[in-house]
A and B are shown apart, each in its own frame.
Chain A
Amino acid sequence: MRASSRADARRTWWWATPRSGGIAALALVVAVLPLGFANGYFYDVAIQAGLNSIICVGLNLLIGYAGQISLGHAGFFALGAYGSALLAARYGWPPSLALVTAVAGVALVAYCVGRPILRLKGHYLAMATLGFGVIVSIVLANDDRLTGGPDGMQVPPFALAGYVARSDHAWYAIVGACLLAAVWLAQNLVESPTGRALRALHTSEVAAAIAGIDCPRHKVNVFVVSAVFAAAAGGLTAYYAGFITPSSASFVRSVELVTMVVFGGMASTFGAVVGATVLTVLPQALTVLKEYELAVFGALLMATMVFLPRGVVPTLSGLLQRGTR
């Protein structure tokens, strides 16, 4: 990956550039957070927040930077999860190989699906991706001899070179490392020529095309990248949870993912992480409300978007910047 020009200019202070600094800070948070964990349940919630963050970092590339909406990303997540699970459980593949193969398979699927449907615009694209997600979830639920149907299937534990990942600590480490890698990749992509092309076509596709940018190719590429992030998180989730159901591909889940991205702040990688984390932890905190949980969650979501319309991170950091100026 190519380093950004700004990092080049201040090589001695590489860790203090916004990008590297952000990743260093995230790494610090990931490393320090377990000190406050009382038991395995905290690890569990943190791991899920991490997995959702990985998906959202990828999805944010598509929605936030390229301006293309997808309401079917749960479909890619589920394909990654079921692909890994099926290859490992039914055909006895080593889990790591199954995971890589499944992710590669999803990349291919995303390419084949993305090429035609990314010609659609706005809400029509949303509908087409939604249709894709719905199709995946129905096929997974219907093909019960292979997938176990709506009640789901068991997944063998993740093993690599004789080491079997079972403990919460191991999974926290794996997911934390993957999250950092995902953020690093996304940041590099954003700073690369592709990232600039994406932002250009977000502003105006026609203008970008006139400027010589191959819009369809860039759109399909970022679509595939975001699908790969989702599929990788899906595969990890399957091994971590040891159990998956087709509801992981549901329309509701896709909407949840988009909500996380917009909540955290579009076109902000750390916003995606914050959005995913907050919206993963919040339902756990709201269980004390019992039957009021759904209503309160909905109201909080509305209020956040009304008062912080650009999302939590961009709006708050904007305010901070204004305050310190």
Chain B
Amino acid sequence: MSAESLQFVAGGLTTGAIYALVALGFSIIFNASGVINFAQGEFVMIGGMSAATLFASGMALPVAIACAVGAAGIVGLMLAKFAVGRARRADVVTLIIITIGASMLLRGLAQIVWDKRIHALPSLSGHRPVELFGATILPQSLWVLAVTIAVVAMLSWFFGQTRLGKAMLATSYNRLAAELVGIDVRIVLLASFGLAAVLGAIAGVLIAPITFVSYDSGVMLGLKGFAAAILGGLGSFPGAVVGGLTLGLLESLAAGYLSSAYKDVIAFVVMLAVLLVMPGGILGARTSARV
């Protein structure tokens, strides 16, 4: 591969890792409730904005990050407790509209609590690019990739080994059966929103040094994260990573070799084609319809 194409790949991995991290949050909530959480991008924004403003006010970076992640987690729990949880018996589409309302509310609050400007956060290990075979990549991108992989490993452990994780997994397969064996699905819902919000905030903190953050930066990230989660197979954690990286690489390679103006169009067309061949996403479950 030439240095040029390696650079396209490096750029694609940077973007893809970001999408993957956002996509993971979608899959967690989907598993627990069957809902697409349109406020997932706002969790990312809250993480980034809180960390950026706390750091700017003089707080040490690790403390600011911890507070930001904690704050987002609380927001996630509140969303589950006071809104989604109350309408649990409603249609999935109704629940989705609730998350759309939540995303507006959170964006609206963010613009009042903070402001409408773009904020930056320092990188964890400097701006000096790392060189690999003639291509360059920012150290922060490597952080994003590494954390994404670590998060997937931790999620696998959580859902495979812990009691709460297994309960959440059981709920995702069959809610009624889970309730029958004594699983409190309200706790599962709370846990999934809390976990997804924490994950989203971690994503926000990690990507703010690359893409910056503003009160409305969650919208596009949410859209791309949703696309990545679907492409990989909704509900599958490895699928979220594969979907994110695939989408990022598609955009980057399309911009590099075909047309930067139509790179998103190309990415979406390829995605539609993939879905038509694999209607459950790349790593999605192959289930047959039941009556």
Do the two chains belong together in a single complex?
A: yes
In the complex the two chains form, is A298's CB within 8 Å of B261's CB? Answer: no
Return the CB mask of A277-307 against B: 1 if under 8 Å, else 0: 0000000000000011111111111100110
Given contacts A138-B262, A301-B100, 15 further A-B contacts (CB under 8 A): A120-B276, A121-B279, A126-B36, A127-B230, A127-B275, A130-B226, A131-B271, A138-B265, A139-B262, A251-B223, A252-B219, A262-B94, A295-B108, A301-B101, A309-B90
Return the CB mask of A205-248 against B: 1 if under 8 Å, else 0: 11100100000000000000000000000000000000000000
Q: What's the Cα separation between A240 and B223 when bound, in Å?
A: 31
In the complex the two chains form, is A297's CB within 8 Å of B104's CB? Answer: yes
A-B contact pairs, 6 of them (CB 8 A): A131-B272, A206-B291, A297-B104, A298-B103, A301-B97, A305-B87
Q: What's the Cα separation between A12 and B279 when bound, in Å?
A: 51
Given contacts A123-B230, A207-B291, contact A305 B97 (CB under 8 A): yes
Which listed residue (B30, B219, B268) contacts A134, Cβ 8 A?
B268
State which residues 123-138 of A face B: CB under 8 Å.
123-124, 126-128, 130-132, 134-135, 138
Q: Which residues of B contact A309 (CB under 8 A)?
A: 87, 89-91, 94
Q: Which residues of B contact A20 (CB under 8 A)?
A: none
Instruction: Decide yes or no whether A266 CB sits under 8 A from chain B.
Output: yes
Instruction: Decide yes or no whether B127 CB sits under 8 A from chain A.
Output: no
Q: Which residues of A contact B91 (CB under 8 A)?
A: 266, 309-310
User: Shortest 9 CB-CB distances between A and B: which pairs?
Assistant: A295-B108, A298-B104, A298-B105, A294-B108, A301-B101, A309-B90, A302-B101, A127-B230, A131-B268
Q: What's the Cα separation between A109 and B41 when bound, in Å?
A: 31
Instruction: Decide yes or no whether A117 CB sits under 8 A from chain B.
Output: yes
Given contacts A120-B279, A124-B280, contact A299 B105 (CB under 8 A): yes
Which listed residue (A123, A210, A302, A310) contacts B102, Cβ 8 A?
A302
State which residues 109-154 of A face B: CB under 8 Å.
116-117, 119-121, 123-124, 126-128, 130-132, 134-135, 138-139, 142
Q: What's the Cα separation between A114 and B93 when bound, in Å?
A: 21
Q: What's the Cα separation between A126 and B244 when bound, in Å?
A: 18
Number of interface residues of B (CB under 8 A): 47
Return the CB mask of B89-115 against A: 1 if under 8 Å, else 0: 111011001101111111111011000
Instruction: Decide yes or no whether B137 CB sits under 8 A from chain A.
Output: no
Q: Which residues of A contact B108 (CB under 8 A)?
A: 291-298
Which listed residue (B106, B230, B262) contacts A142, Cβ 8 A?
B262
State which residues 19-55 of B face A: CB under 8 Å.
30, 36, 38
Instruction: Decide yes or no whether B76 CB sits under 8 A from chain A.
Output: no
Return the CB mask of A81-118 against B: 1 if under 8 Å, else 0: 00000000000000000000000000000000000110
Instruction: Decide yes or no whether B163 CB sits under 8 A from chain A.
Output: no
Instruction: Decide yes or no whether A49 CB sits under 8 A from chain B.
Output: no
Q: What's the Cα separation between A138 and B261 when bound, in Å?
A: 9
Given contacts A298-B105, A298-B106, contact A124 B281 (CB under 8 A): yes
Q: Which residue of B lies closest to A119 (CB)?
A: B279
Q: What's the Cα separation between A121 and B276 when bound, in Å?
A: 11
A interface, over-half SS:
helix
Instruction: Decide yes or no whether B290 CB sits under 8 A from chain A.
Output: yes
Q: In the assembled complex, how far is the CB of residue A162 from the closest CB belonging to chain B, in whole angstroms?
A: 42
Q: Which residues of A contact B106 (CB under 8 A)?
A: 298
Instruction: Decide yes or no whether A255 CB sits under 8 A from chain B.
Output: yes
Q: What's the Cα separation between A116 and B275 when bound, in Å?
A: 10
Q: What's the Cα separation between A299 and B83 when bound, in Å?
A: 10
Q: Which residue of A lies closest to B105 (CB)?
A: A298
Q: In the assembled complex, how far is the CB of residue B41 from the closest CB belonging to chain A, in whole angstroms?
A: 12
Given contacts A124-B280, A259-B100, A291-B111, contact A302 B105 (CB under 8 A): yes
Instruction: Decide yes or no whether B234 CB sits under 8 A from chain A.
Output: yes
Instruction: Decide yes or no whether A155 CB sits under 8 A from chain B.
Output: no
Q: What's the Cα separation between A298 and B280 when bound, in Å?
A: 32
In the complex the two chains form, is B97's CB within 8 Å of A116's CB? Answer: no
Q: Which residues of B contact A210 (CB under 8 A)?
A: 291
In the complex the two chains form, is B94's CB within 8 Å of A299's CB? Answer: no
Q: Which residues of A contact B262 (CB under 8 A)?
A: 138-139, 142
Q: What's the Cα separation between A128 and B83 when bound, in Å?
A: 28
In the complex the two chains form, is B109's CB within 8 Å of A119's CB? Answer: no
Q: What's the Cα separation between A258 and B105 when bound, in Å?
A: 18
In the complex the two chains form, is B98's CB within 8 Å of A305's CB? Answer: yes
Q: What's the Cα separation between A285 and B264 when bound, in Å?
A: 36
Instruction: Decide yes or no whether B269 CB sits under 8 A from chain A.
Output: yes
In the complex the two chains form, is B272's CB within 8 Å of A128's CB? Answer: yes
In the complex the two chains form, is A310's CB within 8 Å of B264's CB? Answer: no
Instruction: Decide yes or no whether B289 CB sits under 8 A from chain A.
Output: yes
Given contacts A207-B291, A252-B219, A259-B97, contact A116 B276 (CB under 8 A): yes
Q: In the assembled complex, how far is the CB of residue A39 from the closest CB belonging to chain B, in whole angstroms?
A: 30
Given contacts A134-B268, A291-B112, contact A124 B275 (CB under 8 A): yes
Q: What's the Cα separation between A210 and B83 when bound, in Å?
A: 39
Instruction: Decide yes or no whether B227 CB sits under 8 A from chain A.
Output: yes
Q: Which residues of A contact B290 (CB under 8 A)?
A: 206
In the complex the two chains form, is A135's CB within 8 Å of B100's CB? Answer: no
In the complex the two chains form, is B101's CB within 8 Å of A298's CB? Answer: yes
In the complex the two chains form, is A205's CB within 8 Å of B289's CB? Answer: yes
Q: In the assembled complex, how far is the CB of residue A206 from the closest CB belonging to chain B, in whole angstroms?
A: 5
Q: Which residue of A lies closest to B273 (CB)?
A: A116
Instruction: Decide yes or no whether A204 CB sits under 8 A from chain B.
Output: yes
Q: What's the Cα separation between A295 and B102 when bound, in Å?
A: 9
In the complex the two chains form, is A135's CB within 8 Å of B276's CB? Answer: no
Q: Which residues of B contact A139 (CB under 8 A)?
A: 262, 265
Q: In the assembled complex, how far is the CB of residue A117 from the closest CB belonging to chain B, in whole angstroms?
A: 7
Q: What's the Cα separation between A305 and B79 when bound, in Å?
A: 13
In the complex the two chains form, is A299's CB within 8 Å of B101's CB? Answer: yes
